[in-house]
């Protein structure tokens, strides 16, 4: 049985994008990127909303660009090897391999996928993750908190949910970022 993991990079005040929609302040450095690569190895399927998919599809071709650091090409390879499901009513076509579009997020279908998978699933993007969290589908949270306060924007976690968590792991990075890994307890 696979776990559903919500992994995100957020500001100290809890945003994945600032009020202008920018997230350049969250770009991982080499150390963080390599750490993320290790976390991505068990992922067999990514679940995305349209906006997050449009950000992540960058990884479809970046690894083929000459001169990229090894940690960038490694992440691109991991991303391309995984299945991707994009939940969207407006996206007409995908531009990445192993990708399909579903018109709506169906909690029962995601629960069935978790039960049938031998690899983990990852839900990407705060809006889709909020639906999965509300449905009680998220098993683990992997949060990267960066040392920036952005003062508003897109929140990383929904406001209207309460979830009990157990801290499984933590890690400090030289750049001041902190990784927090939690398991849902109730």
The model carries a pTM of: 0.96
Handedness of CA 130, 155, 94, 61 (dihedral sign): negative
Closest CA to 117 of 43, 36, 47: 43
Q: For 97-121, what is the mean pLDDT?
A: 97
> Would you state the CATH architecture of domain 4-184?
3-Layer(aba) Sandwich (3.40)
Residue 144 near residue 25, CB atoms below 8 Å = no
Strands (E) in 21-176, as ranges, are 43-49, 83-87, 99-102, 120-124, 140-146, 153-155, 165-172
Question: In the predicted model, is pLDDT for residue 179 greater than 80?
Answer: yes
Tell me the per-residue pLDDT of 15-72, one tens digit each, with 9 for 90 and over: 999 999 999 999 999 999 999 999 999 999 999 999 999 999 999 998 667 889 999 9
C-alpha–C-alpha distance, residues 44 and 181, integer Å: 19
Tell me the per-residue pLDDT of 58-79, one tens digit each, with 9 for 90 and over: 999 986 678 899 999 999 999 9
C-alpha–C-alpha distance, residues 25 and 15, integer Å: 11
Rg (the chain; Cα; Å): 16
Whole-number pLDDT of residue 154: 97
The whole-chain average pLDDT of the chain stands at 96
Domain boundaries, the chain: 4-184
Where do runs of H (alpha helix) occur along 41-140? 50-56, 70-81, 107-116, 126-134
What's the DSSP call for residue 63? G
């Amino acid at each position: 049985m696979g776990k559903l993991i919500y992994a995100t990079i957020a500001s100290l005040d809890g945003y994945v994008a600032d009020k202008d929609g920018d997230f350049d302040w969250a770009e991982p450095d080499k150390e963080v990127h390599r750490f993320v690569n290790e976390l991505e190895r068990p992922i067999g399927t990514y679940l995305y909303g349209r906006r997050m998919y449009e950000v992540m599809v960058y990884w479809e071709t970046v690894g083929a660009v000459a001169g990229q650091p090894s940690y960038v090409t490694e992440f691109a390879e991991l991303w391309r090897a995984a299945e991707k499901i994009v939940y969207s009513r407006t996206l007409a076509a995908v531009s990445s391999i192993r990708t399909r579009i579903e018109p709506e997020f169906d909690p029962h279908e995601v629960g069935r996928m978790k039960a049938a998978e031998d690899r983990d699933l990852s839900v990407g993007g705060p809006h889709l993750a909020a639906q999965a969290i509300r449905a009680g589908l998220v098993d683990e949270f992997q949060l990267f908190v960066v040392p920036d306060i952005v003062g508003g924007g897109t929140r990383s976690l929904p406001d209207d949910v309460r979830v009990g968590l157990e801290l499984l792991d933590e890690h400090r990075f030289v750049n001041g970022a902190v990784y927090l890994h939690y398991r849902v307890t109730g």
